[in-house]
Chains A and B, each alone.
Chain A
Amino acid sequence: MFKAKIDSTMLRECIESLTAIVDEGKFRLTESGLKLRAVDPANVAMVSFELQRDAFDLFQFAAEEASSEAESDSKAELELGLDFVKFLGILGIGGRDEIELELDENVQKLYTRMGSLAYTISLLDPSSLRKEPKVPELEFPVQVILETEVFRRTIRAAEKIGDHIVLGVDGEMFYMETEGEMDKLRLGLRKDQLILLTPGTVHSLYSLDFIVAMSKGMSHVENITLNLGKDYPLRLDFEVAEGKGKVSYLLAPRIENE
């Protein structure tokens, strides 16, 4: 049994952070909230997502024991397969009201209600969805925290110029650099212009397609944390739902031309 109420704008922001990487996926519902981990079809980008139960105005969850004999005690968790793109569309129609959610496990439907609008969503069969990926073990030598808006603005400009972007730290300076056939763009921020910076010398090249998508998934976020290495994946973390939710993106780098 799962029943909940949540601010629909807040939920929309959460779902937007997922559609940056995947179109569909499965939530794991537990006593403590909602979780998801999913990787894009090309195995290049991953999203890990967590929403605590206190982000909800109402959160009722009970693993059903009577439903079947065999799996009765392993059911402290429910899986909910959802087409996120479709779900975003529904949240778009519903406006800014609070949204009520109720799961019917037996028929695999999610009932939603926003004000006077009721919408029944057919869930995706969790077994038809990709398996939850393993998170690679990574150690990041450098961390940078900056205002999301600065990052997003730079990405918007970079997108017009080239296909990839370098993220790096040189001493006490964080930089983003992109080079196209014609133009070149570089953003350099000193330590005092950032919220936090671990000094070091690292840089990696990433596909802008993925970074652009990610930057769309964090439009309402104030700060983001970048974890970087040398020719290494990027981990980009931020909070959603007024600090009651966490999103973490992982992105594999591109091999640079010598």
Chain B
Amino acid sequence: MQRLCITCKGSRLLCGRKTCPLLAGLKKRTEFAKLAETKEFFGPSTSVFVGWRGYPVVGVGPMTILEGKEYNAELGRLEDPSEWFAHGLGMEEIVELRSSSLRAKRGESVTSRTNFVSDMAELALAKQPVDVELTFKSKPSFNLSFSDVTRPTGASVTVEKMKVTENPKIPKQVESIVSDELRAVESAKGLYDLGLDVYKVAEILSAGTLGLHRDKKMVPTRWSITATDDLIFKKLATQLKEYPVIDAYYVYQSSYMDNHFQILLMPTSLEYENFEAWFPGSVWNDASFQRPVIVADYEGFKGRKQYAEEGGGYYAARLAVAEALHKMRRQAGVIVFREIHPSYFIPLGVWVVRETVRAAFGNSSEKFETKMAALKYIDSLLQAKTGLKLAIRDFEVQSVILRQKKLTDY
């Protein structure tokens, strides 16, 4: 896969070949070729997707896959980023996996209560993929789509009719939370506490099943992911603030697909700063730039009121950190240093951040008695990895936390 692929997505053949090798390979392996000629589909729906263009009238519908029945065993893998991470799937494998997905959609207002929408809600609540029968309005078009927040999607098609052909299995406890007259925040936390991962919670939120009856509406998938990260964090944060402060400085680290994280925990009350250093050639920094571009966002003990400029990654990392602190029953001042190196050049969604930060806390940490020693350690790792292109100083000058003195310093 080349860098060009991201702009081209198989539609413009920018690489100069006559056919897109990515899509060609894919078409051979999947049932796409067969499907491209038909206007009907029967198979499992693995999740639901709600678009954001044109809000409040958006394209909504089930996600299905173009694989034959024999791939059923692997269905779970298609939708579950924690599985992708656990198996150490690389960029190409993930793109390939996701390109066999078909997004069936139809225009609906987010407040719509049609049968199509309520069927969709059931699909979202179901524990396992549910078989559906779809009638298309036109032939599916194949166009890979990438986003910084959501997982990549493959083909899409406008759907005319949907029939759910089996009974969706909805866990009792999930059913009971959703049918309670609760605000969306409360239900989402309830679902999370049941052990549903944020991916599933976000999907349920996006399908418009949460909230007080009169307020129920669908939420574009893109927004539902960050919204879920944010509201689960806020719930955890009220607990964190009651916990004792951690006893020393700790540095955790982990890497995935050339995203490198170092996480510093400091013995202070809860505050959070997130750095992203985009190297030339990575997704959001042009290769002609000579230096890494560093962006930062911060929030204090009281939390933030405005949306973080960094976007979804800020919230995904913050949730993963809060989960770890909650497990330790401690609060801390937190700084996340994320370096994005050139071989991460296709945005695959914020799950990359969430899973990698989660994994960092599963690795062993280094403990330090002073801030200076901890920063020096981080510096040595930065410099070793980046060939002196990046030093802790580059972060320090932008840091709210590191530049603020404490009264206890006097």
Contact = CB atoms under 8 A, between A and B. Distances in A.
Contact of B269 (A42, A133, A136, A253): A42
Contacts of A40: 301
Given A41-B269, A41-B270, A42-B269, A252 B301 contact: no
A255 B269 contact: no
Contacts of B17: none
B269 A254 contact: no
Contact of B406 (A137, A138, A163, A252): A252
B270 to A, nearest CB: 7
Interface string B202-221: 00000000000000000000
A46 interface: yes
B268 interface: yes
Contact of B301 (A42, A133, A136, A257): A42
Contacts of A39: 407
A252 B407 contact: yes
A255 B407 contact: no
Interface of A: 39-46, 133, 136-138, 163, 207, 209, 233, 250, 252-255, 257
A207 B407 contact: no
Contacts, number: 54
B268 A252 contact: no
Query: Taking chain A's interface residues, is the majority helix, strand, or loop, or is none over half, making it mixed?
Result: loop
B305 to A, nearest CB: 12
B408 A137 contact: no
Interface in B353-410: 397, 400, 403-410
A42 B407 CA distance: 9
Interface of B: 241, 268-271, 300-301, 333, 397, 400, 403-410
Nearest to B396: A255
A60 B400 CA distance: 46
Nearest to A39: B407
Contacts of A44: 404-407
A255 B406 CA distance: 11
B358 to A, nearest CB: 26
A252 B404 contact: yes
Contact of B397 (A41, A133, A253, A257): A257
20 contacts: A41-B269, A42-B271, A42-B301, A42-B333, A43-B268, A43-B406, A43-B408, A133-B407, A207-B404, A233-B405, A233-B407, A233-B410, A250-B407, A252-B404, A252-B405, A252-B406, A252-B409, A253-B405, A254-B403, A254-B405
B300 A209 contact: yes
A31 B410 CA distance: 32
Nearest to A252: B405
A27 to B, nearest CB: 21
A42 B268 contact: yes
Contacts of B405: 44, 233, 252-255
